[in-house]
Amino acid sequence: MAVHKDAEMAEILKPRTDNREYKRLVLPNSLEILLISDPDTDKCAASMNVNVGSFCDPEGLEGLAHFLEHMLFYASEKYPTEDSYSKYITEHGGHTNAFTASEYTNYYFDVNADSFEEALDRFAQFFIKPLMSPDATMREIKAVDSEHQKNLLSDGWRMNQLKKHLSSPAHPYHKFSTGSWDTLEVRPKAKGIDTREELIKFYEEYYSANLMRLVVYAKDSLDKIESLVESKFQDIRNINRNSLSFPGQPCTSDHLQILVKTVPIKDGHTLRIMWPITPSIRYYKEAPCKYLGHLIGHEAEGSLFYILKKLGWATGLSAGETDCTAEYSFFKVGIDLTDAGHENIQSVVGLLFKYIQLLQKSGVCEWIFSELSAICETSFHYQDKNRPADYVVDISSDMQLYPPRDWLARSSLPSNFNPSTIQMILDELNPENMRIFWESKTFEGHTDLAEPWYGTCYSIEKISSSTIQEWVTASPNENLHLPAANVFIPTDLSIKDFKDKVTYPILLRTSSYSRLWYKPDTMFFIPKAYVKIDFHCPYAGNSPESEVLTDIFTRLLTDYLNEYAYDAQVAGLHYGINPTDCGFEVTVVGYNHKLGVLLDTIVDMIMKFEVREDRFAVIKETIIKQYQNYKFQQPYQQAMYYCSLIQQDGAWPWMEQLEVLPNLEADALSKFVPLMLSKAFLECYIAGNIEQGEAESTIDKVESAFFKNSNPLCQPLFPSQHQTNRVVKLGKGKRFCYSAKGLNPSDENSCLVHCIQVHQDDYLANVKLELIALVAKQPTFHQLRSVEQLGYITVLMKRNICGIHGLQFIIQSTAKGPSHIDQRVEAFLSKFEGELRQLSEDEFKKNVNSLVDSKLEKHKNLREESRFFWKEITDGTFKFDRKESEVTALKQLTQQELVDYFDEFIKVNATRKKSLSVRVYGSSHLSDYEVDKTSAEQAKYVNIDDIFTFRRSQPLYGSFRGGRSPTKL
């Protein structure tokens, strides 16, 4: 029986729009649990948070907690078949994963509702009697090392470890947390330590029920979930392990008042100023860091960022608490610098401290706190529903930190105005308590130290408070001031009463100027709307230059709007202006009350667009660095890029865009924008808490602005100018291969993307392909990653480019080269062919039902629903009933039809198979690059030497997109 106490039965605060039921209970073994009943859910989920993380790693076994996280997935005494847990979850429409943090490890999954009980039982065995076989142990050490190899050239991982390195060795914050072959095999073995024995000892010492928190999200009543959970989790042993805490600060005086210059992998300049502070979790209702982060990170007129941007010194700024625990925390200000900002670093730091001094002089303002509190309260009560898996992870991760009443709200509802608490944290943001990390490639060759785990080069110097004061005094005399009241806070949160339950978007109006799709919200009942306007402009993407200029145009628009629209984003009204393959699109999503005001401003800004030379220069500099940094992408990202470039007609390579960029000046954009906008068609979608008349008048205003005034900016497109999306049609029975050296010579990782192109969008063919992907997904992972250990990134997924469907294997590896991996993929397909034929009728039906359940899963929120329908619109397929129609096709599918489809399109040497292998060779396999090209094995392939010659020589699929009427051309 569960233990119930009065304190445990306290009401849990939940959003007023939330109709789910919640219950807290504690089992006799002291496992604390939150049950969530949601009769409307399609997916059930669970998350177990164990209050043991990398801080508990024994000395000399760095990464052991993370390694244990990997090992628990393999097998248990009750379910001894290796990887059977992951196989079960995948076969029943679910996903599973885990992560290791400093002080806890979180395991979670979701699954189709009718398979939840067995999934939960398998999950519970992680914490009851896991098996950790010697063979699996050795293989998974390699997987941990492969994960580490993936991270070695990531600036995020490198800088995070450098911060930890420059802290007290006596504090566990200092540790290297992820582990590697060196820390889990080589070093222990040299000392006579058996890693598996230490792993079992670690599990037995720390994995105690009283250190665990479980969240279970299910469809059944609370009583039924409670009974289920009791039966599954009561056998987790409780050794009454003391709650783990790590008192003390990670930074001694030796680690404060320092300026660290460090060399990143990517081009660019970044400044991070950090202060160890009193953890705000102790004052979460008073929200001192939320208040200070709101002000220091503000971007409206008078803010620190506004001034830095005006001076041409920064392109981004963030502020807030980070690395927070109950014992210590940091407040961090991160600033993305321009070249000019990098040259004026002293003034940048001086302005930051000048703003902090302004906050000191202004005092803590109750009206700002009240405004922030109102925004947070609205956000909490009208929050979007998330995926159950995300929801349970968020809650379980924080259950140790908050009382049960606040498990859902956590720190999201600041309500107690206490100036002294905010002042206390503000006082800690002083020069004596500061750490500055300054990243730039310009420091290359000018550093004298290296961080031991990632090899990051850095130098360090002390910096006194008097020096900081000199920088403050010498910084520009700009008008820094507190923000004005936020005019975008919604006050009308009423829900529209739509009489008809509209299931799919309707074509509300169409003209030579635009087409408007409309979908009222009859499902979520939240006062939010979603507006998308896609400007189809033929001149926007007809050359590398025009594509780059369109990109600069959209960024400049966003840049110009920032100080005005920042308040809207703070208040929950978000916007985006982004380039597309044939123009640009404007998105506005959030509370509908003041959405029209923001949209009107965006339209007006486009209409009156002028190029400001100073901002053009900053944006150009930013884009050049981003293009230059493409070479530092992970090899799998490079391979997927090549795969798209080969197949998508009209796609321009980033190398050509980078080539034209330096020669583009402001006047080129001034001439280009009127030309780009001179011919346009607007594809529009409006959904949510907005009435039909409002939707029509919104687009009528936009049409009038662009097409119908006395001197119209735009003319409608000719029929021949409507944009298409053509995809290369690979030859039947042919294997194509494109090989390239990795763009970053320092990266040892190689990658293969093995892409099988199958068919153009068709309900029956789609579900056959999806079913094969579902059945093969877990065997792919188990064979190629768990057994053969080819690489940490091992994925089989369905691919859809503009309505052309296929499968793709993505495998990144330091262990083997791309050609070898390609052979292993084909070997897997040969093995899988037999498994597919031997699939029992029950297994076939089980997989069909799983896919049916997944397809019938309801959208969680307006944004998710709108993205689904918008993809149908942009692809030109307009199959808004896709899920239902594909379910109908699935239910009629026979097992023999599936096997026949596999034999025809996917199996090795199938006569109608069309495959493309994209191979990226990392530095550890460069010797294979030339050898593979001339090998006997390679004679089976059609080699692609030049992407564009190849693309021009191939036939194309017909385009779904391309006309004013929703029909296929």
From CA 521, how far away is CA 17, in angstroms rounded?
15
Neighbours of 849 (CB within 10 A): 17
- Active-site annotation holder among 32, 69, 439, 770: 69
Q: Give φ, ψ of 211 to 5 degrees.
A: -100, 15
Contact predicate 396/48, CB 8 Å: yes
From CA 165, how far away is CA 94, in angstroms rounded?
38
From CA 293, how far away is CA 28, in angstroms rounded?
42
Q: Determine which helix (DSSP H) or strand (DSSP E) holds 210, and give its type and residue range.
A: none
Contact predicate 45/389, CB 8 Å: yes
Residue 1's contacts (CB-CB under 8 Å, 6 or more residues apart) are 28, 230
Structure tokens at 369: 């706190």
Structure tokens at 195: 């890693």
Burial class (CB in 10 A: 0-12, 13-18, 19+), 736: buried
* Largest CA-CA distance found in the chain, in angstroms, rounded: 85
Neighbours of 607 (CB within 10 A): 13
Unique residue bearing structure tokens 């469907």? 805
End-to-end Cα distance, the chain:
65
Residue 715's contacts (CB-CB under 8 Å, 6 or more residues apart) are 678, 679, 680, 707
Asked if 205 is an active-site residue, the reply is no
C-alpha dihedral (148, 753, 801, 734), degrees to nearest 10: 180
Asked if 770 is an active-site residue, the reply is no
Report which of 930, 932, 926, 924 is spatially closest to residue 814, judged by C-alpha positions. Answer: 924
Report which of 868, 844, 866 is spatially closest to residue 855, judged by C-alpha positions. Answer: 868
- Active-site annotation holder among 62, 82, 91, 140: 140
Structure tokens at 147: 């994960």
Residue 534's contacts (CB-CB under 8 Å, 6 or more residues apart) are 580, 583, 584, 585, 682, 683, 684, 874
The size of the chain, in residues, is 969
Report which of 677, 212, 182 is spatially closest to residue 452, judged by C-alpha positions. Answer: 182
Percentages of the chain per state (helix, strand, coil), in multiples of 5 = 45, 20, 35
From CA 332, how far away is CA 301, in angstroms rounded?
22
Structure tokens at 736: 């194509």
Helices and strands counted in the chain (H then E): 32, 28
Q: Is 922 helix (H, G, I), strand (E, B) or coil?
A: coil
Structure tokens at 137: 């142990």
CA angle 400, 26, 207 (to 5 degrees): 60
Under DSSP, the state recorded for 718 is P
From CA 693, how far away is CA 691, in angstroms rounded?
6
Contact predicate 493/378, CB 8 Å: yes
Half-sphere exposure of 91 (CA within 13 A, CB side): 18
Contact predicate 32/26, CB 8 Å: yes
558 Cα distance to chain centroid: 21
Half-sphere exposure of 695 (CA within 13 A, CB side): 26
Structure tokens at 425: 């944290």
448 Cα distance to chain centroid: 35
Q: Determine which helix (DSSP H) or strand (DSSP E) holds 737, and give its type and residue range.
A: strand 734-741
- Residues classed as catalytic: 69, 140
